[in-house]
Structure 1
Protein backbone atom coordinates (compact mmCIF):
# COMPACT_ATOMS: atom_id res chain seq x y z
CA UNK A 1 0.00 0.00 0.00
CA UNK A 2 1.63 3.27 -1.08
CA UNK A 3 1.05 6.86 -0.12
CA UNK A 4 -0.25 7.68 -3.58
CA UNK A 5 -3.30 5.52 -2.88
CA UNK A 6 -5.42 8.63 -2.50
CA UNK A 7 -4.46 12.26 -3.09
CA UNK A 8 -4.10 14.16 0.24
CA UNK A 9 -6.10 17.11 -1.10
CA UNK A 10 -9.04 14.86 -1.98
CA UNK A 11 -8.86 13.24 1.45
CA UNK A 12 -8.81 16.64 3.12
CA UNK A 13 -11.83 17.97 1.20
CA UNK A 14 -13.85 14.82 1.93
CA UNK A 15 -13.04 15.05 5.63
CA UNK A 16 -13.96 18.74 5.83
CA UNK A 17 -17.34 18.01 4.22
CA UNK A 18 -17.88 15.08 6.60
CA UNK A 19 -16.95 17.23 9.59
CA UNK A 20 -19.42 19.92 8.53
CA UNK A 21 -22.40 17.62 8.02
CA UNK A 22 -21.72 15.67 11.23
CA UNK A 23 -21.37 18.93 13.16
CA UNK A 24 -24.81 19.94 11.91
CA UNK A 25 -26.30 16.77 13.43
CA UNK A 26 -24.69 17.60 16.76
CA UNK A 27 -26.02 21.15 16.65
CA UNK A 28 -29.51 19.96 15.67
CA UNK A 29 -29.64 17.46 18.52
CA UNK A 30 -28.40 20.11 20.96
CA UNK A 31 -31.13 22.49 19.83
CA UNK A 32 -33.76 19.76 20.14
CA UNK A 33 -32.54 19.04 23.68
CA UNK A 34 -32.69 22.72 24.64
CA UNK A 35 -28.94 23.38 24.93
CA UNK A 36 -27.63 26.94 24.95
CA UNK A 37 -25.14 28.36 22.44
CA UNK A 38 -22.14 26.90 24.26
CA UNK A 39 -23.78 23.47 24.42
CA UNK A 40 -24.64 23.63 20.73
CA UNK A 41 -21.03 24.43 19.83
CA UNK A 42 -19.65 21.71 22.11
CA UNK A 43 -21.97 19.02 20.76
CA UNK A 44 -21.21 20.05 17.18
CA UNK A 45 -17.47 19.86 17.90
CA UNK A 46 -17.59 16.48 19.63
CA UNK A 47 -19.82 14.95 16.96
CA UNK A 48 -17.70 16.20 14.09
CA UNK A 49 -14.25 15.38 15.46
CA UNK A 50 -14.82 12.52 17.91
CA UNK A 51 -14.56 9.67 15.42
CA UNK A 52 -11.48 11.10 13.72
CA UNK A 53 -9.70 11.67 17.03
CA UNK A 54 -10.40 8.07 18.08
CA UNK A 55 -9.10 6.86 14.71
CA UNK A 56 -5.87 8.84 15.01
CA UNK A 57 -5.28 7.68 18.58
CA UNK A 58 -5.69 4.05 17.51
CA UNK A 59 -3.17 4.72 14.72
CA UNK A 60 -0.80 6.26 17.30
CA UNK A 61 -0.86 9.53 15.40
CA UNK A 62 -1.31 13.09 16.58
CA UNK A 63 -5.02 13.87 16.02
CA UNK A 64 -5.39 15.80 12.78
CA UNK A 65 -8.24 17.77 14.35
CA UNK A 66 -5.74 19.69 16.49
CA UNK A 67 -3.15 20.20 13.77
CA UNK A 68 -5.36 21.67 11.04
CA UNK A 69 -7.28 24.91 11.63
CA UNK A 70 -9.81 23.90 8.96
CA UNK A 71 -10.76 20.78 10.91
CA UNK A 72 -11.13 22.73 14.13
CA UNK A 73 -13.00 25.73 12.69
CA UNK A 74 -15.50 23.82 10.54
CA UNK A 75 -17.67 22.54 13.46
CA UNK A 76 -18.02 26.06 14.83
CA UNK A 77 -19.09 27.34 11.41
CA UNK A 78 -21.63 24.52 11.15
CA UNK A 79 -22.90 25.25 14.67
CA UNK A 80 -23.33 28.95 13.83
CA UNK A 81 -25.17 28.19 10.60
CA UNK A 82 -27.48 25.74 12.36
CA UNK A 83 -28.02 28.13 15.28
CA UNK A 84 -29.55 30.73 12.97
CA UNK A 85 -31.12 28.60 10.24
CA UNK A 86 -32.71 25.78 12.20
CA UNK A 87 -36.18 27.46 12.29
CA UNK A 88 -36.29 27.10 8.51
CA UNK A 89 -35.81 23.35 8.82
CA UNK A 90 -39.47 22.42 9.04
CA UNK A 91 -38.78 18.68 9.35
CA UNK A 92 -35.98 18.68 11.89
CA UNK A 93 -35.60 14.96 12.41
CA UNK A 94 -35.68 14.21 8.68
CA UNK A 95 -32.87 16.70 8.12
CA UNK A 96 -31.02 15.23 11.11
CA UNK A 97 -31.21 11.76 9.55
CA UNK A 98 -29.98 13.02 6.17
CA UNK A 99 -26.97 14.79 7.64
CA UNK A 100 -26.16 11.93 10.01
CA UNK A 101 -26.21 9.46 7.12
CA UNK A 102 -24.05 11.75 4.96
CA UNK A 103 -21.46 12.20 7.71
CA UNK A 104 -21.33 8.49 8.42
CA UNK A 105 -20.93 7.70 4.72
CA UNK A 106 -18.07 10.14 4.21
CA UNK A 107 -16.26 9.18 7.40
CA UNK A 108 -16.38 5.43 6.77
CA UNK A 109 -14.59 6.07 3.47
CA UNK A 110 -12.02 8.60 4.71
CA UNK A 111 -11.36 6.66 7.91
CA UNK A 112 -10.70 3.44 6.01
CA UNK A 113 -8.40 5.21 3.55
CA UNK A 114 -6.36 6.78 6.35
CA UNK A 115 -6.06 3.40 8.08
CA UNK A 116 -4.84 1.79 4.85
CA UNK A 117 -2.30 4.57 4.35
CA UNK A 118 -1.06 3.93 7.89
CA UNK A 119 -0.34 0.32 6.94
CA UNK A 120 -3.23 -1.52 8.60
CA UNK A 121 -4.49 -4.75 7.13
CA UNK A 122 -7.78 -4.88 5.21
CA UNK A 123 -10.07 -6.01 8.06
CA UNK A 124 -8.43 -3.73 10.63
CA UNK A 125 -8.69 -0.78 8.23
CA UNK A 126 -12.38 -1.50 7.58
CA UNK A 127 -13.14 -1.71 11.30
CA UNK A 128 -11.28 1.52 11.95
CA UNK A 129 -13.27 3.13 9.15
CA UNK A 130 -16.47 2.11 10.94
CA UNK A 131 -15.12 3.51 14.22
CA UNK A 132 -14.43 6.81 12.46
CA UNK A 133 -17.95 6.80 11.04
CA UNK A 134 -19.85 6.05 14.26
CA UNK A 135 -17.55 7.30 17.03
CA UNK A 136 -18.62 10.93 16.92
CA UNK A 137 -22.29 10.01 16.76
CA UNK A 138 -21.96 7.76 19.82
CA UNK A 139 -20.31 10.60 21.76
CA UNK A 140 -23.03 13.00 20.60
CA UNK A 141 -25.82 10.75 21.82
CA UNK A 142 -24.15 10.04 25.18
CA UNK A 143 -23.58 13.74 25.91
CA UNK A 144 -27.21 14.44 24.98
CA UNK A 145 -28.28 11.69 27.44
CA UNK A 146 -29.65 9.42 24.72
CA UNK A 147 -28.97 5.74 24.08
CA UNK A 148 -26.60 5.73 21.08
CA UNK A 149 -28.45 4.82 17.92
CA UNK A 150 -25.59 2.44 17.14
CA UNK A 151 -26.90 -0.03 19.77
CA UNK A 152 -30.65 0.63 19.80
CA UNK A 153 -32.60 -2.50 18.88
CA UNK A 154 -35.38 -0.33 17.47
CA UNK A 155 -32.93 1.62 15.28
CA UNK A 156 -32.69 0.81 11.59
CA UNK A 157 -29.40 -0.45 10.14
CA UNK A 158 -26.67 2.04 11.03
CA UNK A 159 -23.18 0.56 11.26
CA UNK A 160 -23.86 -2.19 8.70
CA UNK A 161 -23.91 0.20 5.69
CA UNK A 162 -20.72 1.82 7.03
CA UNK A 163 -18.99 -1.55 7.30
CA UNK A 164 -20.09 -2.45 3.78
CA UNK A 165 -18.67 0.82 2.48
CA UNK A 166 -15.41 0.29 4.35
CA UNK A 167 -15.06 -3.19 2.86
CA UNK A 168 -15.70 -1.77 -0.61
CA UNK A 169 -12.90 0.78 -0.10
CA UNK A 170 -10.55 -1.96 1.06
CA UNK A 171 -11.39 -4.11 -1.98
CA UNK A 172 -10.89 -1.25 -4.44
CA UNK A 173 -7.59 -0.29 -2.82
CA UNK A 174 -6.35 -3.88 -3.04
CA UNK A 175 -7.27 -3.97 -6.73
CA UNK A 176 -5.63 -0.60 -7.41
CA UNK A 177 -8.95 0.95 -8.42
CA UNK A 178 -9.40 3.48 -5.61
CA UNK A 179 -9.83 7.01 -6.92
CA UNK A 180 -11.65 10.10 -5.57
CA UNK A 181 -14.58 9.63 -7.93
CA UNK A 182 -15.30 6.01 -7.04
CA UNK A 183 -14.67 6.69 -3.34
CA UNK A 184 -17.48 9.24 -3.62
CA UNK A 185 -19.63 6.59 -5.28
CA UNK A 186 -19.00 4.31 -2.29
CA UNK A 187 -19.96 7.11 0.09
CA UNK A 188 -23.09 7.80 -1.95
CA UNK A 189 -24.02 4.12 -1.85
CA UNK A 190 -23.56 3.98 1.93
CA UNK A 191 -25.77 7.06 2.27
CA UNK A 192 -28.42 5.51 0.03
CA UNK A 193 -28.38 2.22 1.97
CA UNK A 194 -28.78 4.06 5.26
CA UNK A 195 -31.71 6.08 3.94
CA UNK A 196 -33.31 2.96 2.45
CA UNK A 197 -32.94 1.26 5.83
CA UNK A 198 -34.79 4.19 7.41
CA UNK A 199 -37.44 4.22 4.71
CA UNK A 200 -38.17 0.47 4.78
CA UNK A 201 -37.34 -0.17 8.47
CA UNK A 202 -34.47 -2.58 7.83
CA UNK A 203 -33.14 -3.71 11.22
CA UNK A 204 -30.62 -6.19 12.55
CA UNK A 205 -32.09 -9.27 14.26
CA UNK A 206 -32.49 -9.30 18.04
CA UNK A 207 -31.55 -12.21 20.33
CA UNK A 208 -33.51 -15.40 19.81
CA UNK A 209 -36.69 -15.50 21.86
CA UNK A 210 -36.73 -11.79 22.67
CA UNK A 211 -38.96 -9.02 21.39
CA UNK A 212 -37.77 -5.85 19.76
CA UNK A 213 -38.62 -2.67 21.74
CA UNK A 214 -41.19 -0.45 20.02
CA UNK A 215 -39.65 2.10 17.67
Structure 2
Protein backbone atom coordinates (compact mmCIF):
# COMPACT_ATOMS: atom_id res chain seq x y z
CA UNK A 1 0.00 0.00 0.00
CA UNK A 2 1.34 3.42 -0.94
CA UNK A 3 1.73 6.17 1.65
CA UNK A 4 -1.02 8.39 0.11
CA UNK A 5 -3.44 5.42 0.12
CA UNK A 6 -2.61 4.58 3.75
CA UNK A 7 -3.21 8.17 4.81
CA UNK A 8 -6.52 8.22 2.94
CA UNK A 9 -7.64 4.98 4.63
CA UNK A 10 -6.74 6.29 8.07
CA UNK A 11 -8.30 9.72 7.60
CA UNK A 12 -11.53 8.28 6.12
CA UNK A 13 -11.98 5.89 9.05
CA UNK A 14 -11.29 8.40 11.81
CA UNK A 15 -13.32 11.18 10.19
CA UNK A 16 -16.17 8.70 9.62
CA UNK A 17 -16.11 7.92 13.34
CA UNK A 18 -16.54 11.62 14.10
CA UNK A 19 -19.47 11.72 11.67
CA UNK A 20 -21.05 8.86 13.56
CA UNK A 21 -20.55 10.60 16.90
CA UNK A 22 -22.21 13.76 15.59
CA UNK A 23 -25.07 11.58 14.29
CA UNK A 24 -25.44 10.11 17.79
CA UNK A 25 -25.73 13.60 19.25
CA UNK A 26 -28.48 14.29 16.70
CA UNK A 27 -30.15 10.93 17.52
CA UNK A 28 -30.30 9.73 13.91
CA UNK A 29 -31.01 6.22 12.63
CA UNK A 30 -28.39 3.88 11.16
CA UNK A 31 -28.89 5.30 7.67
CA UNK A 32 -28.31 8.78 9.04
CA UNK A 33 -25.17 7.56 10.80
CA UNK A 34 -23.88 6.09 7.53
CA UNK A 35 -24.69 9.24 5.56
CA UNK A 36 -22.87 11.49 8.03
CA UNK A 37 -19.94 9.10 8.27
CA UNK A 38 -19.64 9.14 4.46
CA UNK A 39 -20.03 12.89 4.17
CA UNK A 40 -17.34 13.48 6.77
CA UNK A 41 -15.02 10.70 5.72
CA UNK A 42 -14.85 11.30 1.97
CA UNK A 43 -16.13 14.85 1.54
CA UNK A 44 -12.73 16.55 1.56
CA UNK A 45 -10.96 13.88 -0.46
CA UNK A 46 -13.68 13.81 -3.11
CA UNK A 47 -13.46 17.55 -3.66
CA UNK A 48 -9.66 17.31 -3.76
CA UNK A 49 -9.69 14.62 -6.45
CA UNK A 50 -12.26 16.45 -8.57
CA UNK A 51 -10.26 19.68 -8.49
CA UNK A 52 -6.99 17.88 -9.24
CA UNK A 53 -8.62 16.06 -12.16
CA UNK A 54 -7.70 12.53 -11.09
CA UNK A 55 -8.81 9.76 -13.44
CA UNK A 56 -11.13 8.47 -10.70
CA UNK A 57 -12.10 9.79 -7.30
CA UNK A 58 -10.23 7.70 -4.72
CA UNK A 59 -13.25 5.88 -3.30
CA UNK A 60 -14.63 5.15 -6.78
CA UNK A 61 -11.32 3.55 -7.75
CA UNK A 62 -11.22 1.62 -4.45
CA UNK A 63 -14.78 0.95 -3.16
CA UNK A 64 -13.31 -0.60 -0.01
CA UNK A 65 -13.43 2.94 1.42
CA UNK A 66 -17.21 2.58 1.50
CA UNK A 67 -16.83 -0.54 3.64
CA UNK A 68 -14.65 1.42 6.05
CA UNK A 69 -17.34 4.08 6.30
CA UNK A 70 -20.02 1.48 7.00
CA UNK A 71 -17.90 -0.14 9.71
CA UNK A 72 -17.37 3.26 11.37
CA UNK A 73 -21.11 4.00 11.19
CA UNK A 74 -22.06 0.65 12.76
CA UNK A 75 -19.43 0.98 15.49
CA UNK A 76 -20.67 4.41 16.53
CA UNK A 77 -24.37 3.47 16.20
CA UNK A 78 -24.00 0.58 18.64
CA UNK A 79 -21.17 1.96 20.76
CA UNK A 80 -21.67 5.71 21.13
CA UNK A 81 -23.88 5.27 24.18
CA UNK A 82 -20.90 3.79 26.03
CA UNK A 83 -19.01 7.08 25.75
CA UNK A 84 -19.94 9.42 28.59
CA UNK A 85 -18.06 12.52 27.39
CA UNK A 86 -19.01 12.16 23.77
CA UNK A 87 -18.22 15.71 22.67
CA UNK A 88 -14.74 15.55 24.17
CA UNK A 89 -14.01 12.30 22.32
CA UNK A 90 -15.43 13.82 19.15
CA UNK A 91 -13.13 16.84 19.34
CA UNK A 92 -10.02 14.74 19.94
CA UNK A 93 -10.88 12.25 17.20
CA UNK A 94 -11.45 15.17 14.88
CA UNK A 95 -7.98 16.48 15.74
CA UNK A 96 -6.43 13.12 14.85
CA UNK A 97 -8.40 12.93 11.60
CA UNK A 98 -7.44 16.50 10.71
CA UNK A 99 -3.69 15.95 10.89
CA UNK A 100 -3.92 12.73 8.86
CA UNK A 101 -6.26 14.15 6.21
CA UNK A 102 -4.17 17.30 5.78
CA UNK A 103 -1.15 15.13 5.07
CA UNK A 104 -3.13 12.92 2.69
CA UNK A 105 -4.41 15.87 0.69
CA UNK A 106 -1.02 17.49 0.42
CA UNK A 107 0.78 14.27 -0.53
CA UNK A 108 -1.81 13.39 -3.16
CA UNK A 109 -1.34 16.77 -4.81
CA UNK A 110 2.44 16.35 -4.63
CA UNK A 111 2.24 12.86 -6.17
CA UNK A 112 0.22 14.25 -9.07
CA UNK A 113 2.90 16.86 -9.74
CA UNK A 114 1.04 19.90 -8.40
CA UNK A 115 2.98 23.02 -7.47
CA UNK A 116 3.55 23.89 -3.81
CA UNK A 117 0.72 26.46 -3.55
CA UNK A 118 -1.72 23.78 -4.77
CA UNK A 119 -0.26 21.31 -2.27
CA UNK A 120 -1.06 23.77 0.50
CA UNK A 121 -4.61 24.42 -0.69
CA UNK A 122 -5.37 20.72 -1.22
CA UNK A 123 -3.96 19.80 2.19
CA UNK A 124 -6.02 22.38 4.05
CA UNK A 125 -9.17 21.65 2.03
CA UNK A 126 -8.93 17.88 2.46
CA UNK A 127 -8.48 18.28 6.20
CA UNK A 128 -11.20 20.84 6.84
CA UNK A 129 -14.03 20.30 4.36
CA UNK A 130 -15.43 17.00 5.63
CA UNK A 131 -15.80 18.22 9.20
CA UNK A 132 -17.30 21.49 7.99
CA UNK A 133 -19.95 19.64 5.96
CA UNK A 134 -20.68 17.34 8.91
CA UNK A 135 -21.32 20.18 11.33
CA UNK A 136 -23.33 22.30 8.89
CA UNK A 137 -25.65 19.41 7.98
CA UNK A 138 -26.29 18.72 11.68
CA UNK A 139 -26.84 22.40 12.44
CA UNK A 140 -23.89 22.59 14.82
CA UNK A 141 -21.39 25.43 15.00
CA UNK A 142 -18.55 24.11 12.80
CA UNK A 143 -15.33 23.48 14.71
CA UNK A 144 -13.48 25.07 11.82
CA UNK A 145 -15.35 28.36 12.30
CA UNK A 146 -15.43 28.70 16.08
CA UNK A 147 -14.13 32.06 17.24
CA UNK A 148 -10.35 32.17 17.31
CA UNK A 149 -10.12 28.37 17.06
CA UNK A 150 -6.80 26.95 15.85
CA UNK A 151 -8.21 24.66 13.18
CA UNK A 152 -7.51 25.94 9.69
CA UNK A 153 -4.43 27.60 11.17
CA UNK A 154 -3.19 24.25 12.47
CA UNK A 155 -3.77 22.62 9.10
CA UNK A 156 -2.04 25.45 7.27
CA UNK A 157 0.96 25.40 9.60
CA UNK A 158 1.37 21.66 9.14
CA UNK A 159 1.23 21.80 5.35
CA UNK A 160 3.59 24.77 5.13
CA UNK A 161 6.07 22.96 7.39
CA UNK A 162 6.05 19.97 5.07
CA UNK A 163 6.42 22.09 1.93
CA UNK A 164 9.40 23.94 3.42
CA UNK A 165 11.07 20.68 4.45
CA UNK A 166 10.64 19.24 0.95
CA UNK A 167 12.13 22.43 -0.50
CA UNK A 168 15.30 21.99 1.55
CA UNK A 169 15.68 18.33 0.59
CA UNK A 170 13.93 16.37 3.33
CA UNK A 171 12.24 13.16 2.13
CA UNK A 172 8.48 12.61 1.93
CA UNK A 173 8.22 10.39 5.01
CA UNK A 174 9.86 12.90 7.35
CA UNK A 175 7.99 15.83 5.84
CA UNK A 176 4.68 14.02 6.33
CA UNK A 177 5.60 13.17 9.92
CA UNK A 178 6.37 16.84 10.51
CA UNK A 179 3.05 17.87 8.96
CA UNK A 180 1.14 15.47 11.21
CA UNK A 181 3.10 16.54 14.28
CA UNK A 182 2.74 20.30 13.78
CA UNK A 183 -0.96 20.08 12.90
CA UNK A 184 -1.80 17.88 15.87
CA UNK A 185 0.34 19.86 18.31
CA UNK A 186 -1.41 23.13 17.45
CA UNK A 187 -4.86 21.56 17.46
CA UNK A 188 -4.17 19.79 20.76
CA UNK A 189 -2.95 23.05 22.25
CA UNK A 190 -6.21 24.70 21.22
CA UNK A 191 -8.26 21.91 22.79
CA UNK A 192 -6.30 21.29 25.98
CA UNK A 193 -4.71 24.66 26.67
CA UNK A 194 -7.15 27.07 25.05
CA UNK A 195 -4.73 28.44 22.45
CA UNK A 196 -6.51 30.99 20.32
CA UNK A 197 -5.78 33.56 17.65
CA UNK A 198 -6.86 37.15 18.25
CA UNK A 199 -10.17 37.86 16.58
CA UNK A 200 -11.40 40.95 14.82
CA UNK A 201 -13.25 43.35 17.13
CA UNK A 202 -14.90 46.37 15.67
CA UNK A 203 -16.31 49.42 17.35
CA UNK A 204 -19.88 50.37 16.53
CA UNK A 205 -20.17 53.15 13.96
CA UNK A 206 -20.52 56.60 15.42
CA UNK A 207 -23.31 58.69 13.99
CA UNK A 208 -21.58 61.99 14.50
CA UNK A 209 -22.40 64.88 12.22
CA UNK A 210 -19.62 67.42 11.95
| TM-score (norm: length of structure 2) | 0.89
How far, CA to CA, are the matches of 2:91 and 2:123 in structure 1?
Answer: 20
Please report the RMSD computed on the Cα atoms of aligned residues, expressed in angstroms: 1.8
Kindly state the Cα deviation for residue 192 of structure 1 after the two structures are TM-superposed.
Answer: 2.2
Paired residues of 1:23 and 1:79 also in contact (CA < 8 A)? yes
**Cα gap change, 1:204 to 1:38, in 2 (>3 Å):** same
Report runs of 4+ in structure 1 exceeding 6 Å deviation.
none
Which residues of 2 match residues 139-154 of structure 1 at below 5 A?
139-153=133-147
Kindly state the Cα deviation for residue 182 of structure 1 after the two structures are TM-superposed.
Answer: 4.9
Which residues of 2 match residues 155-170 of structure 1 at below 5 A?
156-170=149-163
Kindly state the Cα deviation for residue 185 of structure 1 after the two structures are TM-superposed.
Answer: 4.3
How far, CA to CA, are the matches of 1:210 and 1:21 in structure 2?
Answer: 42
Partner of 1:178: 171
Q: 1:203 aligns with which of 192, 196, 199?
A: 196
Partner of 1:102: 96
Q: 2:13 aligns with which of 15, 20, 38?
A: 20
SS at match of 1:90: coil
How far, CA to CA, are the matches of 2:114 and 2:90 in structure 1?
Answer: 33
SS at match of 2:2: helix
Q: Are 1:189 and 2:182 an aligned pair?
A: yes
**Cα gap change, 1:167 to 1:26, in 2 (>3 Å):** same
| TM-score (norm: length of structure 1) | 0.87
Which residues of 2 match residues 1-215 of structure 1 at below 5 A?
9-61=2-54, 62-153=56-147, 156-180=149-173, 182-209=175-202
How far, CA to CA, are the matches of 2:46 and 2:15 in structure 1?
Answer: 14
How far, CA to CA, are the matches of 1:210 and 1:115 in structure 2?
Answer: 42
Kindly state the Cα deviation for residue 136 of structure 1 after the two structures are TM-superposed.
Answer: 0.4
Which stretch of the first structure deviates more once superposed, 104-113 or 9-18?
9-18
How far, CA to CA, are the matches of 1:66 and 1:206 in structure 2?
Answer: 40
Q: Which runs of 5+ in 2 are unaligned?
A: 205-210
Larger radius of gyration: 2
Number of residues paired by the alignment?
A: 203
